[in-house]
Amino acid sequence: MAEKDCSSNECKKDLGLESDDRRQAGDAVEGQNMGASVTPHVLMSDVKDFQYLSCGIDSLDLSLAVTWTDFYSGLCRGLSDGKKEAQRRDSPFVFDKIPKTICSIHPRGKSPNYSYHLETLNFHLFIASAEDGSKFQNVYVSFKSKALWLLELLGLYGELVTFIRDLGGEIENSGVLVSRCDLCADYFIPNSIPFEFLRSHAVCRSRKTNQYLDGNNLETFYVGSRKAPLQARIYDKSKEILKSQKDWFFEIWEMKPSKGVWRVEFQLRRPILKEYGINSLQQLIGRLAGVWRDLTENWYSLKLLDNNHTCRRTTHPWWKSVQDCAIEFGPLLQVSREIRSGGRANHEFFLNRAAKCFLVYSAIMGFHDLDDGLFDFTDALRRYWQDKDFTEERLLKAIELGKVFERTGGFDDIPI
């Protein structure tokens, strides 16, 4: 496709390609150019040619609460012997001591909780030295990228359930939590993505960005801190494939090996998943489309420089195509994040904290009986607050937390 002169009025008006399929190429149809002056050097940093390739889940980790049968005398002993042999070899080896299973065992687990690491064709399984999940999720699974792209997700989960049963375990009711999920969309962009384009067109809630350049060529653009529970990445997937040898992606994209494939990816860890109300695998599947739409519209987006107010700017044609990928993730349900005021934990966190403080108090004071300890502990708390204005202090804390105490006796959210 011929390049247009980006200083011309025609290029300012039409930054995309004529097509009925917005994901193949896009027109700036929301508001058009609103007359704001933009310097020519910024307009040259643009993405005009793009072709949608695929979208989906590229990474998925689950935490499981599993009850094992004869764990210490059976499975744990076999895992311990296998791990020692793997450490002696200093490499994984085929682990055939457990009937009906085909897997390898690794020399090291996933610290600090998961001592054992098994690997199958489609996932990595990390097992803790605990016979049930009463204290914490005692099994952690990471599905392999290739399996997530080539197999149906519920069928893949069924394979996991069967594998755990063959090991002598049963997943407890409500014992599955989604710990991490990476969602992505892939595009063929032959002329690359200029760093200046991402820097100048971004509208984002996160103020932290980072980038890796090969000379003047962008390799990866990060949005959000690396340690944050939510991070976005826009990177050269073609170059990454050369390093990881994931050539099978070109079969998914139905194209010959080529440069110019770029990925938009969002990494969501447990705190963000909880804010979206996602705990179980079923909740994840049902809300994927809404999560993608919320992330690409409200958390990070790329917009034309056609207005001084970012909220009034037109979504860039390429990014409009990225947003439209939501329909590929399933039913488009409206979802939003429930962000707690100040990022504070819920009441259960503080109840657990108070319970541990009570335990220390009882040990120091020498109480052996629960009722005697609780009576003295609550009496001490009452004496502590007698000389203080509890009502005012509690109201100040409620305002800080975004809660008010109504005369009806209940807590309601402050409509901020």
Q: What is the pLDDT along the chain (416 residues), one digit of tens a residue?
A: 333 343 334 333 333 333 334 444 443 333 333 333 344 444 446 888 899 999 999 999 999 999 998 888 888 999 999 999 999 999 999 988 777 778 999 999 997 889 999 999 999 999 999 989 888 899 999 999 999 999 999 999 999 999 999 999 999 988 899 999 999 999 999 888 999 999 999 999 888 889 988 888 899 999 998 889 999 999 999 988 888 888 899 999 998 888 999 999 999 999 999 999 999 999 999 999 999 999 999 999 999 999 988 888 999 999 999 999 999 998 777 776 776 544 455 666 678 778 888 888 888 888 888 988 888 889 888 888 887 778 877 777 766 555 544 433 443 333 33
Quote the domain boundaries for residue 300: 26-57+182-334
Using the 8-state DSSP alphabet, how is residue 327 labeled? G
Residue 62 lies in a domain: no
Q: Of 142, 167, 192, at which residue does a domain stop?
A: 167
Q: Of 286, 307, 334, at which residue does a domain stop?
A: 334
Let me know whether 293 and 351 are in one domain.
no
Let me know whether 206 and 144 are in one domain.
no
Let me know whether 297 and 321 are in one domain.
yes
Residue 1 lies in a domain: no
Q: Which residue in this structure is represented by tokens 């904290």?
A: 353
The number of domains in the chain is 3
Token output for 155: 């069928």
Choose among 201, 154, 192: nearest CA to 28.
Answer: 201
> Is 81:211 a contact under the CB 8 Å cutoff?
no
Let me know whether 234 and 325 are in one domain.
yes
Q: Of 136, 167, 198, at which residue does a domain stop?
A: 167
The SS3 call for residue 411 is strand
Token output for 183: 């969602």
Token output for 92: 């994984």
CA angle in degrees (0–180, nearest 5) for 21-23-26: 75
> Is 296:223 a contact under the CB 8 Å cutoff?
no
Let me know whether 320 and 192 are in one domain.
yes
Burial of 154 (0-12, 13-18, 19+ CB in 10 A): exposed
Residue 291 lies in a domain: yes
Let me know whether 311 and 330 are in one domain.
yes
Residue 276 lies in a domain: yes
Token output for 79: 């895992």
Residue 14 lies in a domain: no
Residue 7 lies in a domain: no
The SS3 call for residue 67 is strand
